[in-house]
Chain A
Amino acid sequence: MNVRRIGPTLLLLIAASLGPARPAAAARKVKVVTTLADFASLAETIGGERVETMSLAKGYQDPHFVEPKPSFVLKLHDADLLIVAGLELEIGYLPPLLDQSRNEAVRPNGKGYLDASVGCDIMEKPTEKVTRAMGDVHPYGNPHYWLDPQNGRVIARAIAAKLEALDPAGAETYRKNLQAFEARLTEAEARWARAMAPYAGAKVVTYHRSWPNFAKAFKLDVVGYLEPKPGIPPTPQHKLEIINLMISQKVPIIVMEVYFDEKDPNFVASKTGARVVIIPPSVGGVPAAKDYISLFDTDVDQLVKALSTAKKP
Chain B
Amino acid sequence: MESNTSGRAPRKRPATRGRLPLVAASLVVAALSCVTPAARAQAPAGNVFNPDISVIGNFLGIAGHNAVDSQPSLQLKEAELGLQAIVDPYARADFFLTFGSTSGSVGVEEGYVTFLTLPGDVIAKVGKLKGAFGKLNTEHTHARLFADVPLNMTNLLGSEDGIEDSGISVSRLIPAPAGIFLEATAQLFEGSSDNLFHAYTRNDVEPLFHLKGYGDLSEDSNLEIGGSWTQGTNLNGPGFRTSLTGIDATFRWKPLSRGLYRSLLVRGEWTLSEKESPTGTVRAEGYYLLAQYQLDRRWFAGYRHDESDHADDASLRDRGNSLIVTYWPSEFSEVRAQARRNVYDLPTGKSTATELLVQLQFSIGAHGAHSF
Contact = CB atoms under 8 A, between A and B. Distances in A.
B330 interface: yes
Contacts of A2: 203, 205
Given A5-B203, A19-B120, A92-B369, A67 B254 contact: yes
B238 interface: no
B370 to A, nearest CB: 7
B90 to A, nearest CB: 10
B46 interface: no
A1 B179 contact: no
A21 to B, nearest CB: 5
Nearest to A13: B170
B222 A69 contact: yes
Given A12-B170, A58-B219, A93-B369, A17 B119 contact: yes
B185 to A, nearest CB: 9
A233 interface: yes
Contacts of B36: 104-105, 109-111
Contact of B186 (A13, A60, A67, A74): A13
Contact of A259 (B173, B202, B259): B259
B259 A95 contact: no
Interface stretch (B209-217, B269-277, B301-309): B209-217
B181 A233 contact: no
A16 B181 contact: no
Contact of A21 (B39, B92, B173, B186): B173
Q: Could you say which interface size class chain A belongs to?
A: 35 or more
Interface string A60-102: 1110010111110110010000000000000111111101101
Interface stretch (B1-9, B71-79, B110-118, B135-143): B110-118
A102 B116 contact: yes
A68 B369 contact: yes
B346 interface: no
A221 B158 CA distance: 61
B314 interface: no
Contacts of B254: 67
B165 to A, nearest CB: 14
A109 B215 CA distance: 30
A236 interface: no
A65 B260 contact: yes
B188 to A, nearest CB: 5
Interface string B167-178: 000111111000
Contacts of A233: 297-298
A18 interface: yes
A91 B224 CA distance: 24
B35 interface: yes
Contacts of A9: 186-188, 207
Interface of B: 18, 22, 29, 35-36, 38-39, 92, 114, 116-123, 170-175, 179, 181, 183-184, 186-188, 202-203, 205, 207, 209, 212, 214-216, 219, 222, 224, 231, 252, 254, 256-261, 297-298, 330-332, 364, 368-372
Given A5-B231, A69-B214, A232-B330, 16 more contacts: A6-B207, A12-B186, A16-B171, A19-B120, A21-B120, A21-B172, A67-B254, A73-B181, A74-B179, A96-B371, A99-B123, A100-B123, A102-B123, A259-B258, A260-B260, A261-B297
Interface of A: 1-2, 5-6, 8-9, 12-13, 16-22, 58, 60-62, 65, 67-71, 73-74, 77, 91-97, 99-100, 102, 104-105, 107, 109-111, 132, 135-136, 231-233, 258-261
21 contacts: A2-B203, A9-B186, A9-B207, A16-B122, A16-B170, A16-B184, A17-B29, A17-B118, A17-B119, A61-B257, A65-B259, A70-B212, A74-B179, A77-B121, A96-B369, A96-B372, A102-B121, A102-B123, A136-B330, A259-B258, A261-B260
